[in-house]
Structure formats: C-alpha cells, structure tokens
Amino acid sequence: MSLRIGLVRAARLSAKPRLPLSVFLRASHDAYSDTRLEHFLLPLKYPDEPNAVRHHYLPLISELKRIKGEPDAPPLPPLLTRQQLITVIELLATSGRPPDMEVLRAMFSHLPVYFNVPVTPDLHSVVVAALLKQGYIPLAQKWLMELTELPPQTPTLDNFHTFLRRCPDHTSFTTLRYQVTRTMRNAGVRPTAETFSILIERIISNATVAKTIISPDTFGTIFTDMRILRVPSNPEVIDLIVGHYMDLGFASMAETIRGNYFANFPAPLTPEEEQRNEWNTQLAEAAQDGVEESLALFRELQSTEGCTPTPDTFRAILRGSATIEDLRKVEERLDEAMAVYEESRSSGIVPVAGLVGPLIRSLKSALHNAHLDSALALYSDLDEAFPPSDPDSPEALAAHDHSKHSFGPDIDIYTSLLHGLAMSTNIQSSYPIAGALAQDMKARGIQSTSSIRTANIIMEMRNAGTLDGAFKRYRIGTLRARRGRYYFLIVGDMRLAGFMVTARIYTDILQQFAEVAAVRRNAWRRTERDKLRTMPSNLFDDLLGAVRQVHNILSLDTTVTRDNVLWNQLMDTYQRLGSFPEAFRVWEMLFLSGTYGPIAVSIIFDACGYAKKYETAQAIARRLMAESYVFNLHNWNSYIECLCRMNQMSEALRVIEMDMGTDTQPVKPDPSTVSIMLRFAESRMQTNVILQRVRRQLPELWQMLQNAQNAESPPDYENPLDASPLDGPSPIDLESASEEPNAERPP
C-alpha cells in the first residue's frame, strides 16, 4: 500500500465521531451488572436445592440494593415471575433449616421492592403447606403465630385451614384444637363453621389411619368450643360425626353425640340468620382487601338485598382494619362506618365487646386525643350496657379470659385503653382517666396483667414532672416484678466476700423458683371457679426470666462446676414453669454430651407428658434405646405416665407388653406400673380393657396384682381383681379405644 493511500485512510478514520469514554464505561458496567444478575438468577429460575437457592438469593438482593442505590438508576426489569418465586418459597420451606427459614422471612419483605410481586396471604399458605409436607409441625405452628408480624400482616382463614388440611396423620387432637381455639384468635381470625368441619374431618381421618375410635368426649369438647366462639350450628358437622360412628357400627355412641350436639345448639338457624351470616362472610372476605372494599360491598348489599346492620356486620366491615391508617384512608367513610354503629344502637342492638373492641384497638394506636376520646366514648357505651356483674357469673369469668368471649368490657379492651392513655399527648388529663379505669377493672374482678402494669408504670413516669421523680416511680413500679434479682445480688455479695459460688447455690435458687411456681399454681386453682379454664400464660413470666438468667450464668461462668444435679434441677424447673422448649434444650445438651442419667430421663418424660408432646416422647425413648441405655423402673413408670397423661393408653399397653422385660431392657413392669395406667383410665370400660390385657398378656404381673390387692384388703373385702375383667360393661379392644386427649391437665 502506498504512503498516499495510507494517509487517506488515516484521515477518514480520524474524521469519524468518537463516543465519550464515560459512555463506554457505563456500557461496560451495565454489561457486567447484567452478567452478575444472570449468574445469581439462573439457580433461582430453576431451583433444585435449598443451599444453592440461599447462596444465590442473598447476593442477588445485595446486587439489587447496589443497583437501586446508584444515581439515575433505571427501573429494574422483571427478574423472576410470581410462579418462580413461589417455587423458591416452597423449596426453602421444605428444607425447614434455620438459615433457610430466615431467608424465607426476608423474602416477604423483598418481593414488592425488588421483584414487583405483592405479598398476599396465600403465599403464607404455600409456606405452611410445604412445611407440613415434610412433617415440620412445630415450624408450621410458629409460622402461623408470626403471621401478624410478617407482610401483609393480615392472616386469613385459608392460612389456618391449610394447616388443618395438610397436617400429617399423626397430629394430635390437642395440636389441631390449639390452632382453632388459640392461635386463630390471637391472630384476629375468627373460626367459622367450615373451620370446625375441616377440624372434624381431620380428626376422623387421623383416627381411621391409626385404626382407633374417637372418644365422644372429644367431640363434646369441640361442641363446647363452637358455642364459646359463637360459631353457628352446621348440620354437616353432626352428619359427618354420626356417619363416622354408624359406619363403624357404634350406633349408641352416634346417638350420644347427636344428643350432645343438640344440647349445645338447640335450634337451627332461621333463613334470616343464614342470610345474615352469608352477608357477613362476604363482608369479611371483602375486608381482606381493605375497609373501602368492605364498605362499598355493604352499601351494595344494603341497596340490592336489604342487608341490615348488626354488631356482626360492623365487626365484619372492620375485619381488614389493622391500624388507624386504614381508617384514615376512608376518613369521609369512617363516619359511615360509625353510622352503622349508631344505627345499630338506635335500632335497639346492644353494643358488645366484640363490636367495639376492634375499633377501640384501632383508635388507641393514634396519639391524637380526638381518637382517644372516641375510644373512651365507645367504652362508656359498653360499660353502661353491661354494668359489673356477680364475680361468679359467666360474664365476669369471661371478662378476664382470652379464650372466652365477653359481652361487656374485657381484659383486651382495658389493655388497649390503658396503652393509649399511657402514650397520650395530654398526660395530665389521661392520668385520672386511667385511675377510673383501674377502679372499673377492680369492680369487675379483672386482674392486672404485665402489659397493663407496664402501661401504668409509663403513665406514672410521664406524670412525675421531673427526671428524679420519674426514676423513683420506675423503681417502685418494677420492684415487685424483679424480686428474683435479690437472689443474684446475694450471690454477687458472696463473690465479693471471697466465698466460692458452687453449683449447690444455683440448685437451691432453682428449687426456690420451682416452689414459688407451685404456690402460685395452687393459689390460682383455689381462686379459679371455672375448673375448665387453663392457667394464664403470663403467670410465671417473671420466674421464667429469672431461670433464664441462671441458665445464662451457667453457660458463661466457667468458675462454676456444673454437675448433673444442677442441670437436672434446671430442666425440672423449666418444665414446672411450663416452658417445654427450654427444658428440651437442656435435655438435648445432656443427651448430646452423654452426661444424662436416670433422673434426667424421668424429668424429660414428665415434661413431655405435661406439654402434650407425644411424638417427642416417643423419639426420646427410641434414641435412648438406640444408645443402649437401660431404663430403670422409675424411667419406665415416668414414660408410661407420660403416655397416659396424653391418653395414649394403647401405646402404654404396647410398651409394658413388648418393650419391658426384654434382653436389652430387662426391667419388667410391676403393680405400680399398672396403678399409673388405672389412675389415668377415664371410664370403667377403659379400666376393664387394661386389666384384660394384663391378665391375658402378662400373667405374672396379673398374679402380682392379685397378691398385692389381697395383702391390702380386709378379709371380708371383695377383690375386684378376682372377677373377670369382662364383668360389667363390655370391654373393647384397646386398638379401638380413644387415643385423643379430652382436655389439658396443667402440670
């Protein structure tokens, strides 16, 4: 090529326009970011293993945060579809491991921000179903209890119905019932007739798989729950139960249950009541999309179908109102919602706690005095409609029991009002009102809770006027709740004085906490007139905090020589305070370290029995046998009592027949073992079955029982063991006996 041609080409190239260097850098940066995103996205688009999902999802979120934080960052394109995200959610939930569950919780906050996918309640049902598919019942229960804290903070019936439908076949009646009567109520979701139909279907299905017969008392408990929760009668419920017993050939049981049902629900719903329930169901479903939707539907039903407002109507409309912001969105229409309340009153409908409670809870969260005045006005209406009654009346008992429904002011309403007053902008006017509410509580026999005491302490501090005065009132208010601290102050003084702090000192402290718990439990039982009511969950909160403090000291203080006596006492104290997870944590530590002994084994079986942890108790027994641990008689009796406490008589009989007295477990049952089973027998029929099986399968033990009975009986005493166990009511084979617990027995 000639020099001329070369110069011409160079001139042409130099004449072409050049792009700025920043453009090239930006393009290179975008290409790099796209490559990184695709690297993280690929395993999420086609997920097959939880670890891979977790290891790519977290860096993806970090990269998206960086991109969104850049100046002039363009909107993110659609990265994953909703179905792909659901697949990721299912995979993480199926794992059930703590790291994967943490990522899962974080995802519910990330979805609308980084993937433009709204969080809807049905996603929680996906999580619950995936957990239960793997048998992770405790994790599913925990997820349901946290629904009010996870986006969108609006639990639905479907979330809990998914739990009932997808639970494994071995799920106990106590676990299923707890979800309906406690967890749903705490989440603000009201069980319906469909809820109890699903519950009964699950109970029948579980019994069919286990080849057991359900005790009529089990369904009696369910009918009582339906009546307490004001669930209307449903013919499908009784037809389902009666059909089950008739198919098994137990016509007398079917008639007994039919009579029990109609004793609880004497009259079927009228067509008007059925129509009203249908309207309220529609309003409650619309309320899940917001108060606006519910109010719009109410106006439509009012004009087209003649829907008339009732307390249940008002409650259904406000079902989707979780905070005062929801009501502010419809500020003009809030008057319309209040008009429903006023119209209900003017038409002669008496306001009840279930009607005004949701609105009071919403209003109290605002720090504006106008909203607080509205809440107090609603309370005044309720207080006037239901003045204090006899302390022994059902209404008075329901007022301070979260598991029951009160018509008048109850513990939840007083808690909401006092919390609102404590945070009021005008504490000088709120302070005397709080005193008046305290007097009303006293008149109604409602005991103060830790939450109410906290609100009172805050009010006292804010009303003090000076910092010194506020601190003094804080010390006075918290002194009672911190009596356990004196134990630790004494231990600190001993250290300063040069005394050695031994394990015995902490053992004695734990024993004192256990004794205080027993005194409180007995005092509560003496004063509680409703024998079916369970103990308040916060009865031992302060003691439990002190025991955890001891536990922390033992875990961190290497100067204390920890022996088995101390660990056993710690585990026993936890279980006596009703904290099974903590007791089980101590047991796991002892088991994994191989430092457990016979006393520890008996304690953990006791804890399982009182906490109704049937599967856990069986797993512990299997693990101990796999480790070649030889049970002593006290261990076996503790295990048998644990099973009987959960009404697992069939399994208890199998244990004494098949597991005891073998080459690997040489200890045989003795009369004390049978006495435990007889003590827990709930009917003459069950007693006969136990004695029949012992006589047939364990003749040596039967002879020991007769000898022991004859030695203790006077000469003219007729020994019941001399008669055949077939005397009296016809016994049934234990495989067809009830294995469902009827009611919780507190430890």
pLDDT tens-digit series, residues 25-34? 344 444 445 5
At residue 245, the pLDDT reads 85
pLDDT band at 732 (very low <50, low <70, confident <90, very high): very low
At residue 548, the pLDDT reads 85
Q: In this structure, what token pair is assigned to residue 274?
A: 């059925």
Q: In this structure, what token pair is assigned to residue 720?
A: 């019941």
At residue 635, the pLDDT reads 94
Q: In this structure, what token pair is assigned to residue 492?
A: 């600190």
Report the first-to-last Cα separation within the chain, whole angstroms: 103
At residue 544, the pLDDT reads 85
Rounded (10°) angle between helices 50-69 and 98-114:
40
- For residue 463, what are the CA distances in angstroms to 369, 419, 424, 430, 458? 17, 15, 11, 10, 9
For 268, the 3-state DSSP assignment is coil
Check pLDDT > 80 for residue 134: yes
% the chain with pLDDT above 70: 71
Which residue type is seen at 209? V
Contact 570, 510 (CB under 8 A): yes
Element (H, E) at 272: helix 271-287
Taking the C-alpha atoms of residue 185 and residue 138, their distance in angstroms, rounded to an integer, is 18
Check pLDDT > 50 for residue 15: no
Contact 125, 89 (CB under 8 A): no
Helices (H) and strands (E) in the chain, counts: 38, 0
pLDDT band at 342 (very low <50, low <70, confident <90, very high): low
Residues 6+ apart with CB under 8 A from 131: 93, 94, 96, 137, 139, 140, 143
Contact 53, 66 (CB under 8 A): no
Which residue type is seen at 439? Q
- For residue 609, what are the CA distances in angstroms to 191, 510, 614, 643? 28, 21, 7, 7
More confident residue, 466 or 335: 466
pLDDT band at 644 (very low <50, low <70, confident <90, very high): very high
pLDDT band at 598 (very low <50, low <70, confident <90, very high): very high
For 215, the 3-state DSSP assignment is coil
Element (H, E) at 243: helix 235-248
Contact 188, 320 (CB under 8 A): no
Contact 567, 590 (CB under 8 A): yes
At residue 403, the pLDDT reads 46
Check pLDDT > 60 for residue 89: yes
Taking the C-alpha atoms of residue 89 and residue 47, their distance in angstroms, rounded to an integer, is 10
Taking the C-alpha atoms of residue 352 and residue 371, their distance in angstroms, rounded to an integer, is 20
**DSSP, residue by residue, 370-398:** HHHHHHHHHHHHHHHHS----TTSHHHHH
More confident residue, 246 or 333: 246
Taking the C-alpha atoms of residue 288 and residue 283, their distance in angstroms, rounded to an integer, is 9
Contact 51, 88 (CB under 8 A): no
Which residue type is seen at 210? A
**pLDDT tens across 615-629, in order?**
999 999 999 998 889
For 78, the 3-state DSSP assignment is coil
pLDDT band at 656 (very low <50, low <70, confident <90, very high): very high
Residues 6+ apart with CB under 8 A from 538: 449, 450
Q: Name the residue among 113, 114, 128 with its Cα closest to residue 161.
A: 128
Check pLDDT > 50 for residue 723: no
**pLDDT tens across 383-393, in order?**
776 776 655 55
The torsion angle over the Cα atoms of residues 392, 396, 401 and 402, rounded to 10 degrees, is: 160
- Lowest mean pLDDT segment, chosen from 90-104, 410-424, 597-611: 410-424
At residue 277, the pLDDT reads 79
At residue 555, the pLDDT reads 74
**DSSP, residue by residue, 676-697:** HHHHH--SHHHHHHHHHHHHHH
The torsion angle over the Cα atoms of residues 525, 526, 527 and 531, rounded to 10 degrees, is: 50
Helix, strand, coil distribution of the chain in percent, nearest 5: 70, 0, 30
pLDDT band at 642 (very low <50, low <70, confident <90, very high): very high
Residues 6+ apart with CB under 8 A from 185: 229, 402, 403
Number of neighbours of residue 654 by Cβ within 10 angstroms: 15
Task: Name the range with the highest mean pLDDT among 51-55, 395-399, 670-674, 733-737.
Answer: 670-674
At residue 5, the pLDDT reads 56
Check pLDDT > 90 for residue 174: no
Check pLDDT > 50 for residue 358: yes
What mean pLDDT is predicted for residues 627-652?
Answer: 92
**pLDDT tens across 675-687, in order?**
999 998 888 888 8
Q: Name the residue among 83, 168, 169 with its Cα closest to residue 126.
A: 83
At residue 684, the pLDDT reads 83
What mean pLDDT is predicted for residues 397-424?
Answer: 67
pLDDT band at 632 (very low <50, low <70, confident <90, very high): very high
pLDDT band at 720 (very low <50, low <70, confident <90, very high): very low
* pTM over 0.85, yes/no: no
What mean pLDDT is predicted for residues 577-605?
Answer: 90
> Which ranges of 528-656 would DSSP assign to H, the alpha helix?
541-556, 564-576, 580-593, 598-611, 614-626, 633-645, 649-654
What mean pLDDT is predicted for residues 390-412?
Answer: 56
At residue 442, the pLDDT reads 77
pLDDT band at 352 (very low <50, low <70, confident <90, very high): low
Taking the C-alpha atoms of residue 493 and residue 483, their distance in angstroms, rounded to an integer, is 16
Check pLDDT > 50 for residue 724: no
Residues 6+ apart with CB under 8 A from 140: 128, 131, 132, 163, 167
Contact 157, 287 (CB under 8 A): no
User: Rounded mean pLDDT of the chain?
Assistant: 75
The torsion angle over the Cα atoms of residues 491, 492, 498 and 499, rounded to 10 degrees, is: 10
At residue 746, the pLDDT reads 37
Contact 410, 416 (CB under 8 A): no
Check pLDDT > 60 for residue 482: no
At residue 711, the pLDDT reads 61
% the chain with pLDDT above 90: 14
Contact 231, 191 (CB under 8 A): yes
At residue 25, the pLDDT reads 37
Check pLDDT > 60 for residue 223: yes
What mean pLDDT is predicted for residues 589-615?
Answer: 91
At residue 164, the pLDDT reads 93
**pLDDT tens across 511-534, in order?**
888 888 888 888 787 777 666 667
